[in-house]
């Protein structure tokens, strides 16, 4: 079989995935083409796909901020749409991939055209361009040329830590759901800088099991330090320091008894152990008048409505 001719794409999408955690959908631009001249697997493509990110250009033009007035500096913190264009050229199975970052035509004049000029220079520097493309797709914002001097609050280092935390949390939760059937495992990775500007990473682990036809729920959890001064001081008790037990007193789960023991940290008082027991009332409703109305009365009312409708139909 052979194919000859050009296929014009008017619309479509191209999915870009980062380790199956972050996915970005690019919209294929009209005018993209696939051209065949014989073997279907030897086609040539000329494809542009666009992903739009709304963010501020302040980190992109940080080295020029001193040239702006106070009003201009304030305008640089406003968010504008930036188009990340993915360009595929050449053989369909081994295309050459490149990127461009542009402003929509109606926004090219913002900040006296400084942002657009900066983007034109950036598109000529492949290394710097790829860094900014990665920042826009993963962090949703620009980074400065020296990322550790980011003018934004928290700095790029904190943003990278936050993004990695989300990656690890998602991956661990996907893995935990497959490890032990019937038991829920939950993970939460928190990575940040402490008051002394030192990195600290904690992993919160939660285990949940339901027993006796889901009438009894037992949850165990705790926090383990994997980075920082306390990383070498973890104990087994840290993993099971938080305990929550809940029992459904009624089959419908409306009334429940709950007891707990949690380790808390207060900035002033330090480490605290909080324990307690309580009675829980759970009710789903869409009208305030139904909060304390029994299920039996509601069923009788529904049956009466059905009977009335049936009689009217007759």
CA distances from 267 to 8, 231, 271 (A): 63, 20, 9
Do 39 and 58 have their domain in common? yes
Do 177 and 132 have their domain in common? no
Identify the bridge partners of residue 84 per DSSP, sorted by sequence position: 51, 101
Mean per-residue pLDDT for 49-64?
88
Number of domains within the chain: 3
Q: What is the DSSP letter of 29?
A: P
Of 102 and 303, the structure prediction assigns the larger pLDDT to 102
Do 24 and 143 have their domain in common? yes
Cα separation, 314 vs 295, whole angstroms: 29
Instruction: Give me the domain span that covers residue 188.
Output: 159-282
Among the residue ranges 9-18, 83-92, 219-228, 270-279, the one predicted with the least confidence is 219-228
For the record, the structure tokens of 211 come out as: 């027993």
Do 276 and 294 have their domain in common? no
Among the residue ranges 33-42, 99-108, 221-230, the one predicted with the least confidence is 221-230
Highest mean pLDDT among 16-25, 34-43, 74-83, 197-206: 34-43
Do 132 and 192 have their domain in common? no
CA geometry: angle at 85 spanning 79 and 88, to 5°?
Answer: 170
b/e sequence 116-137, b meaning 16+ C-beta within 10 Å:
bebbeebbeeeeebebbbebbb
The H or E element that residue 46 is part of is strand 44-55
Please check whether residue 202 is in contact with residue 166, taking contact to mean a CB–CB distance below 8 angstroms.
no
Do 85 and 188 have their domain in common? no
Among the residue ranges 16-30, 154-168, 263-277, 279-293, the one predicted with the least confidence is 154-168
Label residue 295 exposed, middle or buried (CB < 10 Å: 0-12, 13-18, 19+): exposed
Do 121 and 83 have their domain in common? yes
Mean per-residue pLDDT for 68-89?
83
Question: Where does the pLDDT of residue 278 fall: very low under 50, low under 70, confident under 90, or very high at 90 and above?
Answer: very high
Do 176 and 271 have their domain in common? yes
Three-class secondary structure of residue 132 per DSSP:
helix
Do 12 and 147 have their domain in common? yes
Mean per-residue pLDDT for 178-197?
62
Do 124 and 259 have their domain in common? no
Q: Could you identify the residue written with the tokens 């959908």?
A: 25
Q: What is the DSSP letter of 234?
A: -
pLDDT > 70 in the chain, percent: 62
Cα separation, 50 vs 87, whole angstroms: 9
* Amino acid 48: pLDDT: 95
Of 186 and 9, the structure prediction assigns the larger pLDDT to 9
Please check whether residue 170 is in contact with residue 187, taking contact to mean a CB–CB distance below 8 angstroms.
no
Question: What sign has the CA pseudo-torsion 148, 151, 152, 153?
Answer: positive
pTM over 0.85: no
Domain boundary among 152, 173, 188: 152
Domain boundary among 152, 168, 197: 152
Q: What is the pLDDT of residues 189-233, one digit of tens each?
A: 666 555 555 666 667 777 788 888 889 988 887 776 655 555 455
* Amino acid 263: pLDDT: 74
For the record, the structure tokens of 13 come out as: 């999408």
Do 299 and 242 have their domain in common? no
Of 303 and 99, the structure prediction assigns the larger pLDDT to 99
Give 198's contacts (C-beta < 8 A, 6+ positions apart). Answer: 228, 229
Mean pLDDT of the chain: 76
Q: Could you identify the residue written with the tokens 């900040």?
A: 111
For the record, the structure tokens of 265 come out as: 């940290």
What is the C-alpha R_g of the chain? 29
Do 307 and 227 have their domain in common? no
Question: Where does the pLDDT of residue 287 fall: very low under 50, low under 70, confident under 90, or very high at 90 and above?
Answer: confident
**Which of 61, 81, 82, 85 lies closest to 73 in space, CA to CA?**
61
Domain boundary among 152, 187, 208: 152
Residues in the chain, how many? 314
């Amino acid at each position: 079989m052979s194919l000859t001719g050009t296929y014009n794409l008017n619309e479509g999408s191209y999915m870009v995935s980062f380790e199956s955690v972050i996915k970005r959908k690019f919209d294929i631009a009209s005018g993209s083409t696939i051209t065949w001249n014989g073997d279907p697997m030897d086609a040539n493509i000329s494809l542009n796909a666009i992903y739009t990110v709304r963010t501020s250009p302040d980190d992109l033009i940080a080295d020029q901020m001193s040239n702006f007035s106070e009003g201009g500096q304030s305008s640089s913190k406003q968010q504008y749409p930036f188009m990340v264009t993915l360009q595929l050229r050449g053989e369909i199975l081994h295309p050459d991939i490149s990127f461009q970052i542009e402003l929509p035509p109606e926004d090219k004049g913002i900040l006296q055209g400084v942002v657009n000029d900066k983007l034109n220079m950036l598109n000529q520097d492949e290394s710097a361009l790829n860094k900014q493309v990665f920042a826009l797709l993963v962090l949703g914002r620009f980074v400065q040329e020296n990322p550790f001097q980011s003018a934004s609050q928290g700095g790029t280092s904190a943003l990278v830590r936050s993004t990695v935390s989300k990656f690890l949390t998602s991956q661990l939760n996907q893995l935990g759901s497959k490890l032990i059937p019937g038991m829920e495992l939950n993970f939460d990775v928190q990575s940040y800088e402490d008051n002394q500007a030192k990195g600290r990473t904690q992993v919160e682990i939660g285990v949940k099991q339901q027993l006796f036809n889901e009438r009894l729920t037992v949850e165990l959890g705790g926090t383990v330090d994997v980075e920082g001064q306390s990383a070498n001081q973890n104990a087994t008790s840290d993993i099971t320091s938080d305990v929550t037990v809940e029992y459904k007193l009624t089959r419908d789960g409306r009334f429940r008894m709950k007891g707990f023991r949690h380790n808390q940290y207060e900035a002033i008082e330090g480490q605290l152990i909080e324990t307690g027991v309580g009675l829980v009332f759970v009710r789903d409703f869409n009208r305030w008048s139904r909060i304390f109305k029994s299920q039996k009365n509601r069923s009788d009312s529904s049956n009466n409505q059905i009977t009335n409708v049936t009689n009217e139909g007759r």
